[in-house]
Amino acid sequence: MPYFTTSDGTEIYYIDQGAGSPVVLSHGWPLSSDAWQREVKLIADAGYRAIAHDRRGHGRSSKTYAGNDMDTYARDLAELIEHLDLHDVVLIGHSTGGGEVVRYAARHGAGRVKKLLTAGAVPPVMVRSESNPEGTPIEAFDAIREGVLDDASQFYRDLAAPFFGANREGATVSQGAADDFWRQGMLVNLAAAYDCVKAFSETDFTDDLTSLDVPILIAHGDDDQIVPIAAAAEKTITLVKNGTLKVYPGAPHGIAGDYQKALDADILAYLAE
């Protein structure tokens, strides 16, 4: 299993499969690179080099107490990409990972990034404020922190329902998908899971988005209960210079089922452009 050690001594686990032009995938909270297993195979099978890492504190990477913030996440990604000497990279990020790849591309990716794709991504900023009335109230994020601190195992079991839209009438989310969400969540270091809530909810990516000079495909389900589209993708598309918004009717936050199949087809088409 490949590991890379960052400049501050953090061990980052990653998978690296296939050959060809590089595609780097960044996962959401509280998951790991395992969330991208299907995409890694499909991308590698299509003739690309697919790379996905476990963010610090998540999965098999170091169980960090410090550095659980978006600037450090982006720096870790920069150091991994530099370590692998990747160029003409396509970045794909889901949820928190969407914020990570946007910040990386804006602040570290000059000369290395070809284009981006985000899915259910947190930019521009999630938390509600006077300037962002469509955002989610801070009390909702406080409740996430409380849930993680009080009983993380049960919290992840409960969160799987809105994450995948299993609480909607007619939903066909498998028990396996919910179980795997719980499994990945339980690998996160508690301090990292707790601190990452602030990172994904309060980081403002507005300047990063406006400074992007590469194409970005912004994918989002219009029934996303975790990162509502009105405060995210619908605002992001107004800030980027070269963006395309793709809305998936009825799709939730979690990438599974019919939504996953549709998104994966769009990912492969986007890579081939």
Among candidate residues 53, 94, 220, 253, the one labeled active-site is: 253
Q: Is 224 a catalytic residue?
A: yes
Q: What is the pTM of this model?
A: 0.97
What confidence tens digit (pLDDT) does each residue in 106-116 have? 999 999 999 99
**Taking the domains of the chain in order of start, what are their residue ranges?**
3-272
The tens digit of pLDDT for each residue in 194-219 reads: 999 999 999 999 999 999 999 999 99
Confidence of residue 95 (pLDDT cuts 50, 70, 90): very high
The pLDDT assigned to 73 comes to 98
Q: Is 201 a catalytic residue?
A: no
Q: Band the pLDDT of 1: cuts 50, 70, 90.
A: low
CA geometry: angle at 198 spanning 148 and 143, to 5°?
40
pLDDT digits (tens, 9 = 90+) for 138-153: 999 999 999 999 999 9
Whether residue 30 is preceded by a cis peptide bond, meaning omega within 30 degrees of 0, is yes
Tell me, what's the pLDDT at 251? 97
Q: Is the bond preceding residue 228 a cis peptide, omega within 30 degrees?
A: no
Catalytic site residue 131?
A: no
Selected catalytic residue, list 26, 32, 95, 201 = 95
CATH 3.40.50.1820 fits 3-272, yes or no: yes
